[in-house]
């Protein structure tokens, strides 16, 4: 981002922030800073939020920041991915993302998107940029400086590809600790995407203001499980009610012993100690997934 454009952005951010009522984009290419701000953004209250009293992600994240939590949590029969870790892995920001974001906020607050929901604004803005010359004029009329309006309008070559809207709540695989909703600038594999984090309790409300990130296809892919000991591997969708795996919510000897007894699996003591050491030494994972390799052997399972 040039110094001149950054000055325009900062001035525009300051102007929007004067009344204090809007969620304002930061003129920064630091993706981690933006991700943290989204995960702690106050998304208000919804009348369906557990009786209107509790259960909101943004409140919990302010008290217990997700960047202090493990990247993965093993549950009874499935694995959850910390949304902070996931976003940091797949999303980035650059000057183009910042320009697109400022254009989005201009479109939403002073342009055709006024009084629309953020989801409608994202979809409308993606369509708006399919005609960049008209979009540039419209953004300038809404108050954006010419240089930044031009950068936003011509930032990406959308062509005829429509914006792609998604919500990870609708996915069966690769569960995130919080849902993401977004619209890309042209198809599911577009380089830039507007993303909201679900910060509320009930999935029907409580989404953050959108931010623009770079990174091809922010939708989570299906997890792949791999046993370090015997080389067994398989896709997440093939592992429902699998007799080959033990899901331990706590990586301790008592939990492992109880799970093995319940599975009625005869194991070597050396295999037990080996896989328990593996599970307890693994950073970033709460719990463990253990593979019953056969012939008394046990293996630690990685997922990615």
Q: What is the predicted pLDDT for the residue at 19?
A: 53
The whole-chain average pLDDT of the chain stands at 89
Q: What Cα–Cα distance (Å) separates residue 115 from each residue in 72, 128, 140, 150?
A: 39, 16, 19, 24
Asked if the structure places residue 219 within a domain, the reply is no
Q: Which of 25-29, 41-45, 100-104 has the highest mean pLDDT?
A: 100-104
Mean pLDDT computed over 243-272: 96
Q: Which residue did the predictor score with more confidence, 93 or 162?
A: 93
Strands 233-235 and 211-214: unpaired
Q: Domain of residue 153: give its range.
A: 3-214
DSSP string, 198-219: B-SSSTTS-BPPPEEEE-S--S
Per-residue pLDDT at 173? 86
In a domain, 89, yes or no: yes
Unique residue bearing structure tokens 């996931």:
86
- How many domains does the chain contain in total? 2
Each as own residue / partner, the long-range contacts of residues 143-149 (CB below 8 Å, 24 or more positions apart, any chain) are: 143/12, 143/106, 143/110, 144/12, 144/102, 144/103, 144/106, 145/8, 145/12, 147/4, 147/5, 147/8, 148/5, 148/8, 148/9, 148/12, 148/99, 148/102, 148/103, 149/103, 149/106
Q: 287-296 burial, b if ≥16 CB within 10 A, otherwise e? A: bbbbbbbeee
Q: Which of 187, 214, 241 is the last residue of a domain?
A: 214
DSSP secondary structure letter of residue 92:
B
Domain boundary among 170, 185, 214: 214
> In this predicted structure, what is the pLDDT of residue 3?
59
Give residue 244's pLDDT.
95
Q: Is 81 in contact with 248 (CB distance < 8 Å)?
A: no
Question: Could you tell me if residue 57 is inside a domain?
Answer: yes
Which pLDDT tens digit goes with each residue over 95-118? 999 999 999 999 998 899 998 999
Q: Are residues 29 and 166 in the same domain?
A: yes
Do 265 and 184 belong to one domain?
Answer: no
The yes-or-no verdict on residue 189 having pLDDT over 90 is no
Compare 15 and 289 and report the one with higher pLDDT. 289
The order of strands in the sheet holding 297-303 is 233-235, 224-227, 297-303, 288-294, 245-248
Based on the domain organization, do 8 and 43 belong to the same domain? yes
């Amino acid at each position: 981002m040039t110094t001149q454009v950054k000055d325009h952005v900062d001035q525009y951010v300051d102007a929007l922030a004067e009344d204090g009522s809007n969620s304002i984009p930061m003129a920064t290419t630091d993706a981690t800073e933006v991700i943290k701000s989204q995960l702690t953004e106050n998304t208000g209250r919804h009348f369906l939020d557990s009786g209107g009293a509790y259960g909101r992600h943004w409140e919990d994240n302010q008290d217990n920041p997700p960047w202090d939590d493990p990247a993965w949590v093993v549950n009874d029969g499935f694995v959850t991915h910390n949304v902070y870790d996931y976003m940091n892995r797949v999303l980035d920001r650059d000057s183009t993302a910042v320009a697109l974001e400022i254009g989005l906020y201009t479109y939403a607050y002073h342009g055709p998107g006024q009084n629309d929901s953020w989801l409608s604004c994202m979809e409308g803005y993606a369509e708006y940029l399919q005609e960049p010359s008209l979009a540039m004029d419209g953004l300038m009329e809404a108050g954006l400086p010419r240089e930044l309006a031009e950068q936003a309008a011509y930032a990406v070559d959308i062509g005829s590809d429509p914006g792609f809207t998604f919500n990870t709540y609708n996915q069966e695989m690769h569960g995130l600790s919080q849902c993401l909703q977004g619209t890309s600038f042209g198809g599911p594999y577009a380089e830039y995407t507007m993303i909201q984090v679900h910060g509320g309790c009930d999935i029907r409300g409580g989404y953050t203001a959108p931010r623009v990130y770079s990174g091809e296809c922010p939708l989570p892919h299906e997890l792949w499980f791999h046993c370090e000991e015997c080389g067994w591997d398989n896709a997440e969708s093939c592992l429902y009610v699998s007799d080959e795996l033990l899901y331990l919510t706590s990586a301790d000897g008592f939990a492992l012993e109880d799970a093995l007894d319940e599975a009625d699996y005869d194991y070597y003591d050396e295999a037990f100690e080996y896989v328990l050491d593996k599970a307890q030494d693994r950073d970033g994972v709460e719990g463990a997934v253990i593979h019953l390799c056969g012939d008394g052997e046990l293996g630690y399972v990685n997922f990615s």
